[in-house]
Structure 1
Amino acid sequence: MIRYPCLQPGTTVGVTAPSSGVDERLHDLVRKATGRLEEKGYRVVYGETVWTQEKAKSAPAAVRAAELNAFLQDNRVGLIFPPWGGELLIEIVDRIDYAAMQPKWILGYSDMSVLLLAVTLVTGIATAHGANLIDARGEYADETTAMWETVLATPTGASVRQFSSKLYQKEWSHEHPSPCVFHLTEPTAWLTVSVNEVHIRGRLLGGCIDVIRHLIGTPYGDVPSFQRQFIHGEPIIWYLENCELNVADLRRSLVQMKLAGWFRHCSGILFGRSGVNKPVEGYEAIDVYRELEVELGVPVVYDIDCGHVPPQMTFINGAVAEVQVATGEATMVQVFKP
């Protein structure tokens, strides 16, 4: 049984940095994002880790874990919204008091997906893969990114519909800041490997493959047990995005996931757009997708709105999803089924 938090108007947002904090030169980005949330009626409280960054982390693992646990156990906090991802969240997965945490939303992506996936697999509490706090600093948000509030406010038992974006951002242009934050210039197309139309249904799980793969073989990455205990054997739709891996490393990671049983009773796989799918000796990402579709016998969709090439939909780990893709456009309905 999956438990879903529900975002309430005026809730308290807890900002902590369980991975990377924010260098002093960029503190203004946090303040701008905070201002936008406060304009929407939220109350924002900070942890000390947000304001520091040294040696690829906001603070030592014990400090980050203690602060995160405090937010997780505080029933006044309804949403944990880290500034962004980072590199070393894996250091604290064994320091989280999963039994004591109160059901509440955790929202983010990149290195944050380690925390999101571990929490859902261990506790059955739904988590949200989507925007980071820093992404909320714009005067307004594009339609795809802005859906995080609507999705997180969906009650248990209800459903929420999202659509693929019309445009995506090809490259960052920090020297030309815009009111929308993202510079959306390229036409979006969700692509399929072997058929023109795809319809997939299953429970969502996923994140940044670079980092969630490191949960394999640990007590925090036991997907088969999650299937038995929390979703009673229902099929899984995996959504995955690649931040830094070349194509061969992407393939190795997917094979490891398969060998670990992560793709057992899988109904489909969705891959986010990536700017780093570097070929190896002519071996390209599309080759990986084709091989995976044949090996698993399930549809594979790629270039979806997920990950480091914005904008991105809000994916709820544990929710039932119905995904339809045709002629480059997609609809995803998520049902908050216990």
Structure 2
Amino acid sequence: MIPERLIKGDTIGLIAPSSPVLKEDLETINNSIMLMESAGFNIKFAPNALSNKLGYSATAKQKAEDINYMFQNNEIKAIFCISGGFNSNSTFDYLDYDVIKYHPKIICGFSDSTSLLNAIYAKTGLVTFHGPTFKALTSWQTKYGYEEVIKRFVEGGLSLGQADDEYVIIKEGKAKGILVGGNLSLVNEMVCGKYSIDFTDKILFLEELFVETPPELVSNYFYYMKQNGVFDKIKGIWLGNYDGAVSIEKILLDTLDGEYNLPIIKSNNFGHIDKKTVIPIGTMAKIDTDQENKIELLEDCVK
């Protein structure tokens, strides 16, 4: 199930499902508002988007109510998470998945939003989008994220990234599968449980923030995935940014230990960096290390 694309005049809704919006972020958020308004869009905050009732965020029910409200509100055509942080998973039990399913629309974010995006896809079949948070549209000294948002959501473009992006082959091969993934630590939390990701026949994309996740913890996450059969189920792996003292691809290869025949590529266009291509969770893609485009989408992700 894919959402409708954005057109000029549409209204974009803003939610804060993770950590609270900080005062020092308001200027950047306002810059993003001005950027999107200049592109012809209207902006609307969810009722609790700026709440910090608990001292570390709005309540789980408040955050879930905002998400449900944004999906049910016909005025809203796309939803952006304002920023990342922690605890978007607290909303899961309070989301109205029927409302989301019957009012499909674009929802975009990254980092902690990984949990929310994958849960919504798992429960409803709605394609969700791992891309810039609303704040990130102007928090970096580049328009890369904004350009990717326009390309994916307005133009319906299918390319993953831009011409000067770098792709590295870690392990040769070919694979087709539906894209799932995002932030490694959050994907790791969804290996098992009520809101687990179905990894069967998927292409798994992963990035991680090195400041919070040293190499030994990355290794821990990969071994947890290995021990729970993730690498037995997936078709291929696409790695994004990780700036730790040891590269994420080395840690992954150490974990796999030659036991799996999976194509693996790495690129510099998603993660906690300035480049954030918009990756549709739930869309069929292909990895082919023999081709110039190492990974490409095989179907539309907006209509």
- TM-score, shorter chain, exceeding 0.5: yes
1:176 aligned partner: none
2:135 aligned partner: 134
C-alpha displacement of 1:123:
0.9
1:217 aligned partner: 192
Residue 250 of structure 1, aligned match among 210, 213, 218: 218
2:205 aligned partner: 239
Amino acid at match of 1:99: D
C-alpha displacement of 1:99:
1.7
1:298-337 → structure 2 map (5 Å cutoff): 298-325=262-289, 330=294, 332-336=296-300
- State how far apart, in whole Å, the 2-side matches of 1:300 and 1:32 are: 37
- State how far apart, in whole Å, the 1-side matches of 2:28 and 2:12 are: 16
- State how far apart, in whole Å, the 1-side matches of 2:15 and 2:222 are: 31
The 3-state SS of whatever aligns with 1:237 is: strand
- State how far apart, in whole Å, the 2-side matches of 1:68 and 1:202 are: 28
Contact 2:148 2:161 in 1 (8 A): no
1:29 aligned partner: 28
Amino acid at match of 1:254: F
Distance 1:236 1:293, change over 3 A: farther
Contact 2:240 2:269 in 1 (8 A): yes
C-alpha displacement of 1:329:
7.2
2:109 aligned partner: 108
- State how far apart, in whole Å, the 2-side matches of 1:334 and 1:267 are: 15
The 3-state SS of whatever aligns with 1:99 is: helix
Contact 1:273 1:305 in 2 (8 A): yes
Distance 1:78 1:141, change over 3 A: farther
1:1-338 → structure 2 map (5 Å cutoff): 3-9=1-7, 10-53=9-52, 57-101=56-100, 102-137=103-138, 141-143=142-144, 145-153=146-154, 160-164=158-162, 166=164, 189-195=166-172, 199-223=174-198, 235-243=201-209, 244-275=212-243, 277-279=244-246, 285-291=248-254, 292=256, 294-325=258-289, 330=294, 332-336=296-300
Amino acid at match of 1:309: I
Amino acid at match of 2:12: V
- State how far apart, in whole Å, the 2-side matches of 1:334 and 1:130 are: 19
Amino acid at match of 2:115: V
Unaligned runs of 5+ in 1: 167-187, 228-234
- TM-score of the pair, normalised by structure 2: 0.86
C-alpha displacement of 1:71:
1.0
Amino acid at match of 1:317: I
Amino acid at match of 1:114: S
The 3-state SS of whatever aligns with 2:159 is: strand
Distance 1:20 1:335, change over 3 A: same
C-alpha displacement of 1:18:
0.8
C-alpha displacement of 1:122:
1.2
Amino acid at match of 2:170: V
The 3-state SS of whatever aligns with 1:78 is: strand
The 3-state SS of whatever aligns with 1:118 is: helix
- State how far apart, in whole Å, the 2-side matches of 1:22 and 1:33 are: 14
Amino acid at match of 1:115: L
- TM-score of the pair, normalised by structure 1: 0.78
Contact 1:273 1:306 in 2 (8 A): yes
Amino acid at match of 2:167: W
- State how far apart, in whole Å, the 2-side matches of 1:56 and 1:293 are: 44
C-alpha displacement of 1:17:
0.4
Unaligned runs of 5+ in 2: none
Distance 1:133 1:35, change over 3 A: same
- State how far apart, in whole Å, the 2-side matches of 1:132 and 1:145 are: 10
Deviation readout 1:109-152 (Å, 9 max, x if unpaired)? 00011100111111110000011111223799545651222222
Q: Alignment length, in residue pairs?
A: 296
C-alpha displacement of 1:82:
1.5
Contact 2:203 2:235 in 1 (8 A): yes
C-alpha displacement of 1:76:
2.3
Contact 2:184 2:207 in 1 (8 A): yes
